[in-house]
Each structure stands twice: as C-alpha cells, then as structure tokens.
Amino acid sequence: MALLSIQDLRVDFTTADGVIPAVKGLNCEIAAGECLGVVGESGSGKSQSFLAALGLLADNGTARGRVLFDGQDLLTLGQAEQNRIRGNVISMIFQDPLTALTPHLRIGDQMAEVLSQHRGISGAEAQKACLDWLDRVRIPEAKRRLRQYPHELSGGMRQRVMVAQAMLLSPRLLIADEPTTALDVTVQAEILDLIAGLQKEEGTAVALITHDMGVVARMCDRMLVMRLGEVVEEGATDAIFHAPQHDYTRLLIDAMPRLDRPDRTRPLTPVPEAAEVVLEARDVKVHFDMRVPGGLFGRTVALRAVDGVSLTLHQGETLGIVGESGCGKSTLARAVLELIPPTHGSVAWLGQSVDGLSKRQLVPRRKDLQIVFQDPLASLNPRMTISASIAEPLKTFQPGLTSKERKLRVVEIMERVGLEPALFNRYPHELSGGQNQRVGIARAMVNRPRLVICDEAVSALDVSIQAQVIGLLKDLQADLGMAMVFISHDLSVVREISHRIMVLYLGRVVELADRDAIYGAPQHPYTKSLISAVPIPDPRLERTRQRLRLPGELPSPLDPGAGLRFLPSRLASGQRDYVPRLDQVAPGHWVAEHDPLEAILAAG
C-alpha cells in the first residue's frame, strides 16, 4: 500500500473575485522510501496540493477529496489530530530559508520545540538529539549553532537547520517545497545530496516540489508534471525525460536552459570584427563602509564588494557575469554604470572617460547605457501605466518629440518586444511577470541604447517564459547590435546568451574566457565546482556526473582570509593581503592564480 495516496484532491480559494480553483482533482501516490518529483510552473497548484494535504492552506482555501496517509484520511482530521501528525510523521521544509525560521528564537530552542511537543522530551536529552541532527546535516560547529539566532547563519546553513528540524523525529514522509530555489548552485547541490542521503539512510519518502527539471533528474525515481491545477503527465523520471508524452512536458524540458546543450533557440550573432569598444572598466573597486562594534562610537571596516575588476566590452557582444551571492556581480554592474560611484578605478563609456563627472553631467550620456532589473514588478512604478513607463526615457532624452511621435515610438517598441498594443494603458499589477519584464526591456531599449545590462533579468521568471525572454534579447541584439552585460547566478542561462563569461568570486575575477572555453575546459577550481554543481535535466547523464566539491561554505566578504581560499599556500605564509594574479593561459582565456586542487582540498 502506498504511504500517501491523494485521491481527487481539489483546492479552491475564495477571493473577492469569486472562487478560484487552484487544484482540480489531483491523484497521486507516494510509496514508502520513494522520492516523487512534483514539477510545474507558478500557478500549477503543486505547492498548494501538499499544503492542503497537511492542513496548512491559507484561511481562504478549502480542500476536498481524500488524502490517505497510512490509510487515514488527513482531510477529515481535527486540528489537534493534525498537529499530532505534522512535524512528527510528516514534516515539511520550505522554499525560503531566510524567512522560514522564527527570527527571535535560538536555533536550539526552535528545534527542541518539536521534541517537547510530540515526545515530551526536553532539557539535556533534547539538546543531544538536536546536536546529533545538526551534525548529521553537516553543520560545522554544531554546538555553537544551538545558541545562535537564524540571522547569524548563512542561507545554506539555515536550510540545513530546516532539514535537521524536519528530520528530528524520523518522519516517514518529508515534503520539500522548492527547498533549493533560493540557494546558490553549490549550496543547492549540497542540500540535494543531503536529502538524497536521508532518503536512503532513514527510508524517508520524499515529495520534492520544484520548477527545476534538473533537480528532478538528479533526485527523483518518479515524477508528476502539473499545469494549472491538473496533472498532465506522470511516470518514471527516465521515461518522461526521454519520451515525454504530453506537449507541455516536452515544452518544459525544451525550455530548460542546459549547460551541455546551448543555442536551443537561435545561435548567437557573432561579434563583428574590429567592433567599437562600448564599455571599458579598469581596476574598478567598490568598497562599502560597514559599521562594526568597537570603541565608543563603533568603528567602520571596508567591505570590498568589488575589488579590482577590469573589463572591455565591444559592440554586439554579450559578457556574462556569474558568481554566487555576495560575489559583487550586481555591484559591479551598478559601478560601471556609475549608479554607485566606484571607490577606485576608471570607467569609459563609448571611448570617453566618465571619471569624476557629476551626476548632472552623466545624465545626457546615460541614453546609451541602460539596465534591466531582476524583479519586473517591483522595478516599475505601480502608479504609471506601462506605456508611460516606456515613454519616460523618450521624454528625458528626446524632449523634442511630440506626444504623437512618442506614442508611435512606444507602440513600435512594445510590438518589437512582443507586448500587445491592447496593454498600452494597463498598470504593472495587471500584467504577468513575463509581460512586465518585457516592459522593462522595452523601457531600456526605446532609445536604442548601445549597451544594456541585464541584472538577473530572467531569474524570477518561469522556465518557459525565461526561454522566451532570452530569445527576445538575442533577437534584439541581432537586429540592433547592442552590447549586453548579462548577470545571473544561473550558469546554464548565462551560457545560452553570452559570448564571453566572467566568473566572480568575492569581488574578484577568477576566470574570464569565451563561453565554449569556460564550459568546455574550465581552469580554475572554483569555476569547475560551479559547473559541476549545476544539475542537467537529463536523468541518465545526471546520475553519471562527477561533482567537484570544494570544502567549506561560501565565506563572507568581511572575512579577511576569504579571498585567498584558492591560495592556501599564501595564506599559510601570512600574506593575507596578497592579490591573486590573472594569467592568460590561452588567447582571451584568463585564470586567477591558484594552488593545485589537492592543496585546496587539503586546506579545507
């Protein structure tokens, strides 16, 4: 008999606009010890199904149908009976580890709560159990963590705490709702390994809810594809990946950017010979003053967000910038656009230096350099219609246009980025995420800039929309020949769109090369570990891949020795301020100085 059997589950939400069905008759089963992948894009009802099963729906949600756990229907249970099951035999971990733990309670206290609630265990015995589990999820210095508050831990560590807390009572089913979506690739890989290990060792069944086909390929035996509240396909992971039956499944698989198979949509337009230099930055540094305790009024230390980066970008070229959170990729983008004045170094736009210019002097030059931000909804003014937002740069830079001409230009660019003219007078909240990001792109492109910086511009979008937006950017580049800087934490996406790729680590370049060189023959251990951590949406391939695991967590930029993680020999000889050299190993392929891999692994 299946451990969990969901039969004809329907979830409805009562809203001001009437009753909205979120799940329309879900049927699925999870056997003991099995890992079931539940895949779908936003609005597919994948999370709501399992929240409903545990009785965790929002107040306006109702669930009908049957959710049999061990033969008992969870939906008919009262509050007290549900509480006996939650956290005990079924536990759940959530997407955003930064907000999922109670901020004012110590880690140890939050974990021990589960033990005292369900088993009446407290005191030293509870502490020992918590400590054991923190060790098992490989949290360094577990004992100290028990006394710490959530904000003192990194995102990856907090997710480990969530896993440890969920596993404390050895539940028979673990529901993981997008457990790695908010995490960096290397941390994601660690958490996935951890869950897979627990599944094997403890025999815990896992329901893994995700939008990422790569994660499913790595983790799951069976999978379920959902769309708009319905299951479109179900079966063994291998079978679905290699012979998808439903069009939507095929579309999802095709839409996933893949490290091993770039250029699914259209090939990149090659950079023309002897193209003009659009952007040049030399030794750019951005340091922020951070106030730390000490002295009567505290003291400040410099946080080196960007620490000596140089780059050159030609007309028609796309430079991809990748790196994990805190590596300074967004700060670098803002610094080269002079949105944050660099602390040091020089920047030239279109061959002319902009160093030392006042904000007012910079304004007329900004026409040719535009930026598209990550959160499409938040970066548009909610009180302006989208056409007004798109028209604003025209008003600034081409004040001579009549309102009729301006309207014409707006309609033209809207059409170009794939926005229907009917949306002209709509507000951002009336549009989908993908449409809003097209508005962002239209706003950036309306003056035909020479350079567009895309700062995580597709990260918040569903994969199918992501693929469309990337296709659009490539098209625009082919037509208009603008240069792009494409910043992302997602290595597969960057590979799709970039001619050259720069890998950043704590504000410094560790590797810079053509995209084929960097993915085909990465030289720096950090690049290698990043690439090997990205899951590939192909179960057969994914299971045979070797991962390169570097020791330790991603360190804080405030940690003085952190910059020399790949040069433990220099650190050992006391040269804490040593700046690793960038060597050219092949034409156009630069690699930061590092110790041999064995030495780095040994030092960790």
Partner 1 sequence: MLRYIFRRLLVAIPTLLLLIIICFLLMHAAPGGPFTSERKLPPSVLANIEAKYGLNQPLFVQLWDYLTGILLHFDFGPSFQYKDRDVNDVIATGFPVTLTYGTISFVLATVVGVALGVLAAVRHNTLLDYIAVGVTFSAQALPNFVMAPILVIIFTWQLGWLPGGGWNGGQWQYVVMPVIALSTSYMASIARITRSSMLETLHSNFIRTARAKGLPTRKILWRHALKPALMPVLSYLGPVFVAMITGSVIIDMYFSTGGIGLNYVNAAFNRDYAVMLGVTILYGALTVLFSLVVDVAYAWVDPKIRY
Binding site for partner 1 (CB under 8 A): 54, 56, 58-59, 79-80, 82-88, 91-92, 94, 96, 99-105, 113-114, 117-118, 149, 151, 162, 165, 293, 296-297
Least separation in angstroms between CB 586 and partner 1: 47
Write down the least CB distance from residue 2 to partner 1, Å.
Answer: 22
Strand order in the sheet with 230-236: 90-93, 173-177, 205-210, 35-39, 222-227, 230-236
Closer to partner 1 by CB, 152 or 289: give it.
152
CB of 56 to partner 1, least distance (A): 6
Residue 320 CB partners (closer than 8 Å, separation 6+): 486, 487, 488, 494, 495, 497, 498, 500, 501, 502, 515
| Rounded to 5°, angle at Cα 457 from 379 and 40 | 105
Shortest Å distance, C-beta 55 to partner 1:
8
3-state secondary structure of 584: strand
Q: Which of 488, 533, 516 is nearest to 214 (CA)?
A: 533
Residue closer to partner 1 by CB (options 79, 402) is 79
**Residue (of 349, 367, 205, 190) closest to 277 by Cα position:** 349
Smallest gap from Cβ 93 to partner 1, in A, equals 8
How far apart CA 278 and CA 135 sit, in angstroms, is 51
Choice between 162 and 394, CB closer to partner 1: 162
Cβ 340 to partner 1 shortest distance, Å: 25
- Block residue for tokens 């995580």: 456
Largest interatomic CA distance in the chain? 77
In the complex, the smallest distance separating the C-beta of residue 129 from partner 1, rounded to whole angstroms, is: 15
What's the closest the beta carbon of residue 32 comes to partner 1, in angstroms?
21
What crossing angle do the helices spanning 463-480 and 433-445 adopt, rounded to 10°?
Answer: 20
Kindly tell me which of 150 and 342 has the beta carbon lying closer to partner 1: 150
Show the tokens assigned to 414: 């809207």
Q: Which is nearer to partner 1, 137 or 534 (CB)?
A: 137
Which tokens go with 411? 């309609």
Q: Which is nearer to partner 1, 78 or 399 (CB)?
A: 78
Q: CA angle at residue 183 from 372 to 244, to 5 degrees?
A: 85
**Which C-beta is closer to partner 1: that of 105 or that of 480?**
105
Beta carbons within 8 Å of 331's beta carbon, 6+ residues apart = 286, 305, 306, 340, 507
d(CA 269, CA 483) in angstroms, rounded, equals: 11
- Which residue, 151 or 242, has its beta carbon nearer to partner 1? 151
